[in-house]
Amino acid sequence: MRQVIVVGSGPAGYTAAIYAARARLAPLVVASSVEFGGELMKTTEVENFPGFADGIQGPELMTNMQRQAERFGAEVVYDDVVRLELEGPVKRVHLGNGDVHEALTVIYATGSAYRTLGLADETRLSGYGVSWCATCDGAFFRDKQVAVVGGGDSAMEEATFLTRFADTVHVIHRKDTLRASAAMQERAHADPKIRFHWNKEVARIHGGDLVTGIGLVDSVDGSETALDLSGVFIAIGADPRTHLVHGQLELTPEGTIAVAGRSSRTNLPGVFAAGDVIDPTYKQAATAAGSGVVAALDAEHYLAALPAQLRAGAVHPVAETVDA
């Protein structure tokens, strides 16, 4: 049994693991089988994480965080959590490969998942011109026409990045003002390859095997227009990933996990939450990292207050495999 299991491997998860490992709690980090490292694995340059005056590539930042956690004794497994049993003093974390890990505390830091437009053709053409990641797929659209949907920082970041490849980047936004920060807006407005389409919603995505265009509806007068293009990048925000804890952890009206005050304490003793999964507002790598610190310290204090007999059981990190 472990003292601490961290679910999630973004800035919150790894920072929690660094602190827990330095506190000699030998955490296990469940890093996901596909999306380990979190959203920063999909970004290019990160300019606003403190300590990197010249910026750092997102994947490099995450690899550094992982190495830092491992250096102090964290162990990382690349698998998905399929079920969690969070009630009672001993928590059970079930992985996709059948392993079940037990721990006295769980730090839940699963971040958030990209929103979709909810169009049938969006799913059908995902990977065939519809994408949620310019860093991953942008190079496929050299000298092509592409659209970015959304008006926040993500949309501006994606649009600016795509100008490296695309002939024209059409930003489709449902309002006539952007939500993005002033700096990101200025950069996008100054780019001659970016064209803004205000008050427009994507009603249709056209294409047989590959995207060939989109149908737009004007959100003010209802008029319809079409744009021929090869790629649609959807950047309309993200929702906290809470499906594994429904029915166990309390949520806020915004859908994030409810925590007590400025702490990471959830409604269940020994279960702590950190990062974007508790944050409807700030959602920054640096705030997620700080939130990971809080969770590790809360877990440490919780463990210190447990009866010695219970803690004594948590010295040997052993995974048990059960039949599905």
Residues that are catalytic: 133, 136-137
Are 319 and 42 in contact by the 8 Å Cβ rule? The answer is no
- Exactly one of 37, 58, 111, 151 binds ligand NDP (CB under 6 A); that residue is 151
Report how far apart, in Å, the C-alpha atoms of 167 and of each of 84, 164, 264, 273 are: 47, 9, 46, 43
| Start-end of H helices in 165-321 | 182-189, 285-304, 308-312
Are 233 and 127 in contact by the 8 Å Cβ rule? The answer is no
Q: Which is nearer to ligand NDP, 1 or 162 (CB)?
A: 162
150 binds ligand NDP (CB under 6 A): yes
Structure tokens at 287: 């705030």
Q: Which is nearer to ligand NDP, 152 or 269 (CB)?
A: 152
Q: Which is nearer to ligand NDP, 12 or 106 (CB)?
A: 12
179 binds ligand NDP (CB under 6 A): yes
Task: Tell the smallest beta-carbon distance from residue 291 to ligand NDP (Å).
Answer: 14
Count of residues interacting with ligand NDP (CB under 6 A)? 18
Q: Point out which span in 5-13, 143-151, 222-230, 260-268 binds ligand NDP (CB under 6 A).
A: 143-151
153 binds ligand NDP (CB under 6 A): yes
Residue nearest to ligand NDP (CB): 152
- State the Cα–Cα distance between residues 28 and 69, nearest whole angstrom: 10
236 binds ligand NDP (CB under 6 A): yes
Q: Point out which span in 149-157, 206-214, 253-261, 300-308 binds ligand NDP (CB under 6 A).
A: 149-157
Site for ligand NDP in 21-60 (CB under 6 A): 48
Task: Provide the terminal-to-terminal Cα distance of the chain, rounded to the nearest Å.
Answer: 20
221 burial type by CB count under 10 A (0-12 exposed, 13-18 middle, 19+ buried): exposed
Does residue 2 sit in helix, strand or coil?
strand
75 beta partners: 28
237 binds ligand NDP (CB under 6 A): yes
- Exactly one of 142, 175, 189, 301 binds ligand NDP (CB under 6 A); that residue is 175
Q: Which helix (H) or strand (E) holds 137?
A: helix 134-137
Q: Point out which span in 172-180, 224-232, 253-261, 292-300 binds ligand NDP (CB under 6 A).
A: 172-180
Name the residue among 94, 81, 74, 84 with its Cα closest to residue 3: 74
Q: What does the per-residue mask of binding to ligand NDP show for 250-289, with x meaning CB under 6 A?
A: ---------------------------------x------
Task: Tell the smallest beta-carbon distance from residue 28 to ligand NDP (Å).
Answer: 28
- State the Cα–Cα distance between residues 213 and 229, nearest whole angstrom: 5
Are 106 and 314 in contact by the 8 Å Cβ rule? The answer is no
Contacting positions for ligand NDP (CB under 6 A): 48, 115, 117, 149-155, 157, 174-175, 179, 236-238, 283
